[in-house]
Amino acid sequence: MARIGVFVCHCGENISRTVDTAAVAQALGEMPGVAHSTDYKYMCSDPGQSLIQAAIAEQKLDGVVVAACSPHMHEKTFRRAAANAGLNPFLCEMANIREQCSWIHDDREAATAKAIDLVRMIVEKVKHNQPLQPIHIPVTRRALVIGGGIAGIQAALDIADGGCEVVLVEKEPSIGGHMSQLSETFPTLDCSQCILTPRMVEVYQHPRIKLLSYSEVESLEGFIGNFKVTIRQKARFVDESKCNGCGDCTKKCPQKKIPSEFDAGLGTRTAIFVPFPQAVPNIPVIDRANCLLFKGRAKGKKKDVCGICARTCTRGAIDYDQEDRLVTEEVGAIVVATGYQLYTIGKIQPKEYLRGYGEYGYGEIPDVIDGLQFERLASASGPTAGEIRRPSDGKVPKTVVFLQCIGSRDPAKGIEYCSKICCMYVAKHTMLYQHKVHDGQAVVFFMDVRAGGKGYDEFTRRAMNEGALYLRGRVSKMYRDGEVIKVVGYDTLSGEQIVLDADMVVLATAMMPQLGIESLAQTLSVSYDQYGFINEAHPKLRPVETNTAGVFVAGACQAPRDIPDSVAMASAAASKILSLFSNAELSREPMVAHVNPATCTGCFHCERVCHFGAIQRKEVRDRQGNLIKVIAEVNEGVCQGCGTCQATCPSKSIELAGFTDAQVFSAINAIFA
């Protein structure tokens, strides 16, 4: 006969207000197999736990049921208490009579009867519980960081400085991300590149960082501590080991008028190019779509048409026949830091729920630009060498209108969220503009100024004090009228309809996750929201973890974030990873599935239903080495204990430890007994 102890908690008044806890304890005390039953005001308190521990010792209990709150709340607490008293922790279980009973009922008598049933179920289950031991899995102390913007750079440096190796994957030819495109940063107006480029060089020179630029993650196998990543290194057509970054090839390239991605389309680049002078690595890439030689090959010409770069290169680094390479890396943890892209107001949108702004000309009015383009105009390294000149005719604009919340906070255009950084960068833009064009007037149409952050509100106030005119309202329409752009708006504070003649309009467009983030998230088995932002494991308490153990998130791929927030998040993710790597092994709960090899028929229904890829195939051979059958086997490191395989197995050969059929069915039978 089992000797089970039942401990009924009042939870202050949370439970005892609706459930007669003394009656529950008494009813359970009369149940066969229950050796001890009592109630107490706070079981989770120190005296409450001592009560349990004393009973385990005195009554020689072989199972414990605590009738209290949800196991989410205190299962760990009580299992630890039981373990300290010498009982295997997995012989201790909780019956939830708070969330599932006292909180949701009013009728005291009925609630008490239900509570008794709930506790009886768990008592019957515990009668079939087996002692279990935690599972230990080894940890590869090496991290993968996906994305080489400021978040990825920070995470990589922190982990590498902590003594662990890092593989940093960046899809563009250079690391640096959007921050390298910015002119100056809020709220201090310090130069973006001046603070960023030293960190980029540090990444490149760090002995423990392996930088894979112009590369993308192709596939992922494994589980926390033991991932195997396949990375596609896209062909640069330049041999990284031979190139010394002299730049002669880019000077000689005859294709000079290609819009530069780095200059947000405002400047030009060559077909063999380095995105910007401070690029890391400083190794060019050939853009196949625009290279004469590759265009010639695509047309099937037998003789190569151009080849000037190869003839120019003194080191023989140009290799037109280079192909994509797949490399595999073994890592123990992953940081996703893929950053953002900007919403465009055009007619053609990347996602069906997005709508462009027809009332703003669908982006076809020249001199209507977005925030990143303004950054390039204001940047000393930009196409105008830092002079504010409008793209259409190169004139210095005397009236610049800035529109906030374009795309953002606009459900009709598909995005409901606030992009968070625009209020700040628009204030910055007005200052940069007015500092450079002294007789210029900056006008801002805003809905609310959201400037929470250290020194942030002071910054937006400064922009207003320095002469930017802030009008509260959305603009209804913009159209070209000769040399100017007519901006039709309304100032809700004065109640005036306002029509402005603008020389240039800058749109603070929404921050959105990078295109293709969904397929990366699926590769990594992490969840994402309706917009594609990666979901954190808990919005408050686990902000940098994802729902897949060992995969972390940092920066603007999780939500719109500014530089300080992205850096803080990256450092948080790095410290989480370093704490993970401080263990030689991981221990995890033993709630994983096990296969009975004697009865498994090898139908592999379990393999098909397993979401986590935890089912492996195992050959069973006789002593002579002849194959008898192939059966399923569970990879304990990968199994998440969901139980889907158990529900599916036709021959009842696979069972989840802690939730075996015997346990679950005895619990159910207890209600009908």
Partner 1 sequence: MADEIQELTGIAAASCYQCGKCSAGCPMVGEMDFGPHKIMRLLQLGRGEKLFEDESIWLCLTCETCTARCPNQCDPARVIDGLREIAIRRFDTKAPKRISAFRRSFLDQIRRNGRLFEFGLVLDYKLKSGDLFSDVTSAPAMFLRGKLALSPRRIKGIRDVRRIFDACLESGEES
Cβ-contact 410, 507 below 8 angstroms: no
How far apart are CB 354 and partner 1 at their closest, in Å?
13
By the rule CB under 8 A, 630 interacts with partner 1? no
Would you say 479 or 665 has its CB closer to partner 1? 479
What residue spans of 483-642 are helical by DSSP H? 517-524, 563-581, 605-609
Q: Tokens 């019957």, residue? A: 124
By the rule CB under 8 A, 33 interacts with partner 1? no
For residue 256, how many other CB atoms are within 10 A of its CB? 12
Instruction: Work out which of 474, 480, 486, 594 binds partner 1, going by CB under 8 A.
Output: 474
Considering only 70-78, 410-418, 562-570, 625-633, which stretch makes contact with partner 1 by CB under 8 A?
A: 410-418
Instruction: Work out which of 386, 473, 516, 564 binds partner 1, going by CB under 8 A.
Output: 473
By the rule CB under 8 A, 330 interacts with partner 1? no
Ramachandran sector of residue 11 (left: φ over 0; alpha: ψ -120 to 50; beta: rest) = left
Would you say 226 or 344 has its CB closer to partner 1? 344
By the rule CB under 8 A, 494 interacts with partner 1? no
Cβ-contact 281, 240 below 8 angstroms: yes
Exposed/middle/buried for 417, CB within 10 Å: 0-12, 13-18, 19+? Answer: middle
Instruction: Work out which of 1, 348, 412, 541 binds partner 1, going by CB under 8 A.
Output: 412
Would you say 300 or 411 has its CB closer to partner 1? 411
Residues within window 429-448 making contact with partner 1, judged by CB under 8 A: 447
Spatial separation of the C-alpha atoms in residues 55 and 60, rounded to whole Å: 7
Residues within window 453-472 making contact with partner 1, judged by CB under 8 A: 472
For the four alpha carbons of 574, 575, 576 and 581, in that order, the dihedral sign comes to positive
Tell me the CA distances in angstroms from 123 to 7, 36, 272, 673, one per residue in order. 11, 12, 72, 13
φ/ψ (deg, to 5) at 52: -65, -45
Instruction: Work out which of 59, 188, 328, 492 binds partner 1, going by CB under 8 A.
Output: 492
Would you say 291 or 422 has its CB closer to partner 1? 422
Round to the nearest angstrom and report the end-to-end CA distance of the chain.
18
By the rule CB under 8 A, 247 interacts with partner 1? no
Instruction: Work out which of 135, 189, 488, 603 binds partner 1, going by CB under 8 A.
Output: 488
Considering only 5-13, 295-303, 406-414, 614-622, which stretch makes contact with partner 1 by CB under 8 A?
A: 406-414
Instruction: Work out which of 117, 202, 216, 359 binds partner 1, going by CB under 8 A.
Output: 359
How far apart are CB 539 and partner 1 at their closest, in Å?
23
State the number of binding residues for partner 1 (CB under 8 A).
Answer: 22
Would you say 353 or 665 has its CB closer to partner 1? 353
Burial 185-224 (b: 16+ CB within 10 A, else e): bbbeeebbbeebbebbebbeebebbbbbbbbbbeebebbb
How far apart are CB 410 and partner 1 at their closest, in Å?
4
By the rule CB under 8 A, 343 interacts with partner 1? no
Pair of tokens at residue 605: 């229904």
Would you say 469 or 662 has its CB closer to partner 1? 469
DSSP state of 302: S
Nearest to 580 by CA among 212, 331, 330, 229: 331
By the rule CB under 8 A, 501 interacts with partner 1? no
How far apart are CB 494 and partner 1 at their closest, in Å?
11
Report the DSSP pairing between strands 333-336 and 484-491: unpaired
Interface residue list for partner 1 (CB under 8 A): 359, 405, 409-413, 447, 472-477, 488-492, 495, 497-498
